[in-house]
Structure 1
Amino acid sequence: MNVIKAQDLHLLERRLPLFPWYVEQYIQHKLADLSPSTLLEYTRDFEMFFHWMIQEGLCSALSMDQITLFDLEQLNLQNIDTYKLHLQLRNQNSKVTRERKVASLKSLFHYLSQIAEDDDHYPLLKRNVMAKLKTQRLTNAKLMASRLHGKILEDDTEIHDFCAFIARDCITQISDNPQALHYYQMNRVRDTAIVTLILASGMRVSEVVNLDIDDIDVTKKVAHIYRKGSKDPGIKQSIFFTETGKEALVQYLQMRSIVYPHDRTEKALFLAIPRGASQAKRMSKRAIQQMVSKYAAAFGKPMLTVHKLRHSFATSYYLKNDIYKTQRQLGHASTDTTELYAQLTDKTMEAAINRL
């Protein structure tokens, strides 16, 4: 099992005692089909919903683990509509995020009402209010492309500028902050290598975190990674990166052991020194996400996230290749998913013409 899955499975196991018994039963059932990372996100959605139920007085429970199946059966459609409004107004979730959170709840309620049974072979949940909802699958390529427009790096020039900003130009914004300047000078080569590698290959953040130093062949410009959704999740697949990615990695590898002293057993490619520690450890997914967001805000692209770096690469790559090559590079199971980048390239070309 790769590092991210192992970490998320451990975290998932630690969180389950906080929930009602039937949630643990649902998670155990779903582990055969869904990754621990996905199920961990589901539990966060369940936690938000259960806390909302308690706050709204929709059950007598004082903690999540006390919420009963009877409490769920008493919910009505108006309650669910109110919760969706809560997500929109109080939590300010986007429509895509709201639909995803509701979809995870629908999955739980469907399991309890259609799959799980009690000792008498009756469904655990006798009444499923979620069955009345129609969740919208926002997969339309044009719609998704329109939402990403302006939130990714639009072309090769902007990709180059963002990498250069991390590598050297960011210093102008933090020169009067000694602490920020210290950490920037310490980590800028590593941070540049991470961002450049994603923009040079289209890797997912989980794939980057899982990389061991032996997974990189800088001579052939190949990385061996665990692919999300692979039919053989325990087998690494090869993915190419560009010359720019190679140059950034070479610079990082030259200083990796000097700046990030580590135990001889530590094989992770990208390292970070935890606060208060003397030895470096594998950099976490959360740390990479926060790092990219920090640079993106300073660069003037506050909506740019680590996953949108992947979108940025894919848009640039698709302009130079066909949809099938793009599909293989990104590891998509179907070209339906890759169709998004056909729409994004239209937006990119339109923006380039407007600049001219």
Structure 2
Amino acid sequence: MTSPLAAAVTDYLNHVRAERGLAANTVAAYRRDLGRYVEFLAGRGITSVADVTAVEITEFVRSLSAEQAASSVARHVVSVRNLHAFAHEEGLSPANPAADVSPPRIAQRLPKALSIDEVTRILEAPDRTEVTGLRDATLLELLYGTGARVSEIVGLDVDEVTAAIADPDAGLRLLGKGGKERIVPLGSYAAAAVGDYLVRARPTLAQAAARHDPALLLNQRGRRLSRQSAWAVMQAAAKRARVDADVSPHSLRHSFATHLLDGGADLRVVQELLGHSSVATTQIYTLVTIEHLREVHAAAHPRAR
């Protein structure tokens, strides 16, 4: 028989799916987190959401902290807090016992930025005498030249990029997270790589498909290049360039932001270029540049050590 607590969880999941329109993966994550929470409370004889107190929630968080990473514990806390807020609003609980329960602090991880020399070697790694090499060079030049997410670059169509090349002042339109659109400049290196690819490589790749695909970057079947394939391109280029760091397409986005700030770019400008909704998200890159300054100071100043 389903307990009142489990029924409240079901009602909450139906609410976030129907009313808030959350993605299926997000709802599934909430279901897993709250399923564990229900089991924990059942082990303490609690089967109603109205009987839960801050004590049980704190004990649940402590039990998770003993065996899971802080990021996973924080996600569980968010799920539990949202459940109790919903239960209180719906009259299923006289109070919200999770209101003052805070998730654990997550250590801030600095994004990995490549040096300018490493980026240059990666960008020069593809064999531009080959069709796929021209495509790979275009992908990499666009990633680093615009600071875009890999999904934004593989999602580009030919017409969108040629329009930006024809009218540099208009810039390149990118569709980011949540359907948010932004415009970024298209540099000369990226524009040249695109132009070369469109003339010498894309027509050959397009022949493999039974029907026309508007995508800029095509795979060897003539279809839109996937994010997974873009990741493989980056890995192969890094290996060819003998860059030993753990890299991904996102590494070029991190490097784009870091190199701009190192060069004196305003933080707000970098925020706009990256498509961050809050400048707080962009500020992590200032920590990277400060760390770089410390390294240079320690290596170059006679009294730094």
- The question of a shared fold, defined as TM-score above 0.5 by the shorter chain, is answered with yes
User: What is the rounded CA distance, in whole Å, between the counterparts of 1:72 and 1:196 in structure 2?
Assistant: 57
The match for 2:101 is: 133
Task: Within 5 Å, give how 1:244-255 maps onto structure 2.
Answer: 244-253=189-198, 254-255=200-201
Change (3 A) 1:291 1:104: farther
Change (3 A) 1:251 1:51: farther
Change (3 A) 1:343 1:76: closer
User: What is the rounded CA distance, in whole Å, between the counterparts of 1:299 and 1:272 in structure 2?
Assistant: 25
Q: Tell me if the contact between 2:123 and 2:140 (Cα under 8 Å) persists in the aligned partners.
A: yes
Residue 300 of structure 1 pairs with residue 234 of structure 2: no
Q: Tell me if the contact between 2:123 and 2:237 (Cα under 8 Å) persists in the aligned partners.
A: no
The structure with the larger Rg is 2
User: What is the rounded CA distance, in whole Å, between the counterparts of 1:28 and 1:112 in structure 2?
Assistant: 14
Which of 41, 58, 67 is matched with 1:86 structurally? 67
Q: CA deviation at 1:133?
A: 2.4
Q: CA deviation at 1:255?
A: 1.1
Structure 1: runs of 5 or more not aligned: 1-18, 61-68, 89-94, 169-184, 274-278
Residue 112 of structure 1 pairs with residue 86 of structure 2: yes
User: What is the rounded CA distance, in whole Å, between the counterparts of 1:73 and 1:207 in structure 2?
Assistant: 47
Change (3 A) 1:345 1:131: same
The match for 2:26 is: 42
What amino acid is the match of 2:254? H
Task: Within 5 Å, give how 1:218-297 maps onto structure 2.
Answer: 218-221=165-168, 222-228=171-177, 233=180, 236-253=181-198, 254-260=200-206, 261-272=208-219, 279-289=221-231, 291-292=233-234
User: What is the rounded CA distance, in whole Å, between the counterparts of 2:95 and 2:237 in structure 1?
Assistant: 48
The match for 2:122 is: 162
The match for 1:25 is: 15
Length, aligned pairs only: 276
Query: 3-state DSSP class of the match of 1:218?
Result: helix
What amino acid is the match of 1:101? R
Q: CA deviation at 1:289?
A: 4.3
User: What is the rounded CA distance, in whole Å, between the counterparts of 2:158 and 2:59 in structure 1?
Assistant: 53
Q: CA deviation at 1:198?
A: 1.6
Structure 2: runs of 5 or more not aligned: 1-8, 301-305
The match for 1:346 is: 290
TM-score after normalising by structure 2: 0.70
User: What is the rounded CA distance, in whole Å, between the counterparts of 2:35 and 2:132 in structure 1?
Assistant: 39
The match for 1:148 is: 110
Q: CA deviation at 1:344?
A: 1.9
CA deviation vs aligned residue, 1:110-164 (integer Å, no higher than 9, x gap): 453244x3xxxx23x67766445202576xxxx74xx326x221x3222112223
User: What is the rounded CA distance, in whole Å, between the counterparts of 1:72 and 1:186 in structure 2?
Assistant: 64
Residue 206 of structure 1 pairs with residue 151 of structure 2: yes
Change (3 A) 1:59 1:213: farther
User: What is the rounded CA distance, in whole Å, between the counterparts of 1:71 and 1:188 in structure 2?
Assistant: 59
Residue 309 of structure 1 pairs with residue 259 of structure 2: no
What is the RMSD of the two structures over their aligned residues, measured on CA atoms?
A: 3.9
Residue 337 of structure 1 pairs with residue 297 of structure 2: no
Q: CA deviation at 1:317?
A: 1.2
CA deviation vs aligned residue, 1:229-280 (integer Å, no higher than 9, x gap): 67xx4xx43211322222332333331231253354522222335xxxxx44
What amino acid is the match of 2:201? M
User: What is the rounded CA distance, in whole Å, between the counterparts of 2:202 and 2:81 in structure 1?
Assistant: 44
Q: Tell me if the contact between 1:42 and 1:104 (Cα under 8 Å) persists in the aligned partners.
A: no
Change (3 A) 1:324 1:76: closer
User: What is the rounded CA distance, in whole Å, between the counterparts of 2:213 and 2:85 in structure 1?
Assistant: 41
What amino acid is the match of 1:311? H
The match for 2:3 is: none
Change (3 A) 1:136 1:129: same
What amino acid is the match of 2:275? G
Residue 322 of structure 1 pairs with residue 269 of structure 2: no
Query: 3-state DSSP class of the match of 2:113?
Result: coil
The match for 2:72 is: 98
User: What is the rounded CA distance, in whole Å, between the counterparts of 2:232 and 2:35 in structure 1?
Assistant: 26
